[in-house]
Amino acid sequence: MAAEICGGSLFLSVKTQLQLQQRNQQNVFFHAQRSRTRRSTTRFHSSKRCFSSSAFPNASAFRRGAVCQVASTDFESAAKAGEDRLSKVPVRNIRNFCIIAHIDHGKSTLADKLLQVTGTVHQREMKDQFLDNMDLERERGITIKLQAARMRYVFENEPYCLNLIDTPGHVDFSYEVSRSLAACEGALLVVDASQGVEAQTLANVYLALENNLEIIPVLNKIDLPGAEPDRVIKEIEEIVGLDCSNAILCSAKEGIGIIEILNAIVARIPPPEDTSKKPLRTLIFDSYYDPYRGVIVYFRVVDGTIKKGDRVYFMASGKDYFADEIGVLSPSQLQVEELYAGEVGYLSASIRTVADARVGDTVTHYGRKADNSLPGYEEATPMVFCGLFPVDADQFPDLRDALEKLQLNDAALKFEPETSSAMGFGFRCGFLGLLHMEIVQERLEREYNLSLITTAPSVVYRVHCVNGDTVECSNPSLLPEPGKRKSIEEPFVKIEMLTPKDYIGSLMELAQERRGQFREMKFIAENRASITYELPLAEMVGDFFDQLKSRSKGYASMEYTFVGYTESNLIKLDIRINGDCVEPLATIVHNDKAYSVGRALTLKLKELIPRQMFKVPIQACIGSKVIASEAISAIRKDVLAKCYGGDISRKKKLLKKQAEGKKRMKSIGKVDVPQEAFMAVLKLEKEVI
């Protein structure tokens, strides 16, 4: 059946279409059944069957003077085509594409609808965020890992193979996006029709342009009351520079414009080159560790053909294995006998050593090796560092194995062993951002059943020594002595904040408080501005993003890039307890913030450290200079209780004897800082630094 609509297409289930036909024959008004996630109705007129203004208030906004188009969809044939998705098609009929967008602009919802319309996933198996298979992704409502899915679509009576890669939207997972783009020839740029262009929208477009991809602009959520497609199209053309004359208006939740998107993918995204006769070269773009099958590799076949049972050679590691199982991701793993140039699939070869199959490696045939490997991926540069320590020291080997397996699935994670006098053996880990750090910690605790302690996040400082050496340190305990260092440089980032004009003042105030240097402000639209600052990365690893969202009531977005190192007036703040320096509590802070940070730390430690038999001084020091101090009073025995009278000299003698004992105890006594105190202080450091 055909449904006439203005500027888009609404697709309904077969059962609903039959019901609508029956009601149409009776010449009555009818209602269209909506998605299960939103039980609302759209009113149609019985004769014209166009959207009514009450049911779709923004119909005029995206009609744009076009007459009502007629689009027909047979879901039975689409489902049948989906079931045949393992059938081979010529290389010219393969389309590899990914979906990129800012966070919460509807990437995962659009991916769900594409899977549903093409019949890749049956209706009974369908659920929201279908490709987000981690519990953590569903709880937070964000995409953390890229996911691949193979679909089959019939266009003009010719079958096409569509390989979709759904990507994360948060800036901390941009490395996942860059790896996805390298395996594709095109990208769907999804923009929320109510929110418009945001910071990560720009960042993703630039990544796609660097990879020479064909970009198809898609305006999502046009069914929302606040949708303004014309304004957003103008924003994209002015800010991004993309031609939006043939941008697609859609609503992934309501199924509007999905067929237009599929048609555009086939018509506008170029096919991969047909190089199936060349020696095999496949690019590994993702992998994970299965406890039963070993390392499972996701790859894109660039040249040649790979068959089940072939002996394959990993060019970077120099290892060879037999391909016990190859298949496609649709989105579950389906076995096939062979894959050729342009296709995306997976490989299982009983690989037990995680270092043998790394992301970015090239796989070729052992007997017919390729002349050179593929370029691979640029190494991810960690921006934020913290220490990870097991609560139980016996779990240290388990933590090492867990990090190695997780690094296989998360190529941006870096780690090296570290020892702390307070927390024992652990690892110094590098992350792309604070959210990345939180996600890794939660995945280690959930997937590998570990109990972990994390230190306060820090950045890498560059220290120029008097003798001409340059030392990089991410741990305050590795900082050279004051007499040996000439200067300290800290990393700076260029941050771009996109915000409604009402919040410009509060966001500029936030950046100034964090030692930001103003660079530029421009109005990208009548009510939206772009503010550019350069500020220290150390000021961003705390609660900067939370403050940005709080001060702008959630409307502002940000994106940052590393620009280099700049010399700053930085000092090492030591904490001394009873005269002994406690290295795990040392921090590197700016001189202007040293007093406030030192004061907060000493007050917190006074609350947490239990009282001793002697007085315990707690001091925050810069070198030998004490800038903040607190003291825990001693537990005293009342030695004067037995003195019911008599001369004052007797009382003085007893008090003097007690004082000498306390002094002797203080000189030989040792204060044990409890684990709870370290945890509380580390949490405090994350808040105040």
Mean pLDDT by runs of 10 across the 689 residues of the chain is: 35 41 40 35 32 37 35 47 68 88 80 82 66 66 76 86 80 74 86 83 81 88 87 83 85 86 90 86 85 87 89 87 88 85 88 81 86 77 82 88 86 83 81 83 88 80 88 82 86 88 90 90 83 88 78 81 88 84 80 86 82 80 87 72 73 76 57 62 58
Residue type, 49: R
Q: What is the C-alpha to C-alpha distance for residues 150 and 132, in angstroms, rounded to an integer? A: 16
Q: What is the C-alpha to C-alpha distance for residues 172 and 88, in angstroms, rounded to an integer? A: 37
The CATH class, in words, for 462-568 is: alpha beta
For 482-497, the DSSP string reads: TTTEEEEEEEEEEEEE
Q: Is 438 left (phi over 0), alpha (psi -120 to 50) or beta?
A: alpha
What residues pair up with 322 in beta bridges, in sequence order?
Answer: 311
ω into 482 cis (within 30 of 0): no
pLDDT at 6: 34
Q: Is 222 annotated as a binding residue?
A: yes
pLDDT at 682: 59
**So where are the chain's domains?**
80-268, 281-365, 384-455, 462-568, 572-686
Query: What are the tokens at 295?
Result: 């390392």
Q: Is 168 annotated as a binding residue?
A: yes
Q: Is 107 annotated as a binding residue?
A: yes
Of 458, 447, 452, 444, the residue nearest 425 (C-alpha): 452
Say whether domain 384-455 belongs to CATH 1.10.150.120: no
Q: Is 170 annotated as a binding residue?
A: yes
Buried b vs exposed e over 162-189: b needs ≥16 C-beta within 10 Å?
Answer: bbbbbbbbbbbbbbbbbbbbbbbbbbbb
Question: Are residues 178 and 80 in contact, defined by beta-carbon separation less than 8 angstroms?
Answer: no
pLDDT at 662: 61
* Cβ within 8 Å of residue 328, ≥6 positions away: 85, 86, 150, 334, 336, 339, 343, 344, 345, 346
pLDDT at 681: 64
Burial of 323 by CB count in 10 Å (0-12 exposed, 13-18 middle, 19+ buried)? buried
In this structure, the strands spanning 414-420 and 248-249 are unpaired
pLDDT at 532: 92
First to last CA, the chain: 63
Q: Is 106 annotated as a binding residue?
A: yes
Domains 384-455 and 462-568 share a fold: yes
- Predicted TM-score of the model (pTM): 0.68
CATH number of 281-365: 2.40.30.10
Q: Is 104 annotated as a binding residue?
A: yes
The helix/strand/coil state of 325 is strand
Q: Is 464 annotated as a binding residue?
A: no
Q: Is 511 annotated as a binding residue?
A: no
pLDDT at 27: 38
C-alpha dihedral sign at 257, 262, 266, 271? positive
Q: Is 282 annotated as a binding residue?
A: no
Q: Is 469 annotated as a binding residue?
A: no
* Cβ within 8 Å of residue 590, ≥6 positions away: 515, 536, 568, 569, 570, 571
pLDDT at 7: 35
Q: Is 495 annotated as a binding residue?
A: no
Q: Is 367 annotated as a binding residue?
A: no
Q: Is 167 annotated as a binding residue?
A: yes
Residue type, 477: S
Q: Could you tell me the CATH superfamily of domain 572-686?
A: Elongation factor 4, C-terminal domain (3.30.70.2570)
Buried b vs exposed e over 122-146: b needs ≥16 C-beta within 10 Å?
Answer: eeeeeeebbbbebebbeebebbbbb
Q: What is the C-alpha to C-alpha distance for residues 689 and 597, in angstroms, rounded to an integer? A: 7
Q: Is 265 annotated as a binding residue?
A: no
- Lookup result for tokens 């009929």: 93
For 270-310, the DSSP string reads: PPPP--TTSPPEEEEEEEEEETTTEEEEEEEEEESEEETT-
The helix/strand/coil state of 459 is coil
- Domain 80-268: give its CATH architecture: 3-Layer(aba) Sandwich (3.40)
pLDDT at 533: 93
pLDDT at 534: 92
Q: What is the C-alpha to C-alpha distance for residues 285 and 167, in angstroms, rounded to an integer? A: 12
Q: What is the C-alpha to C-alpha distance for residues 180 and 207, in angstroms, rounded to an integer? A: 10
Residue type, 661: G
Q: Is 102 annotated as a binding residue?
A: yes
Residue type, 289: Y
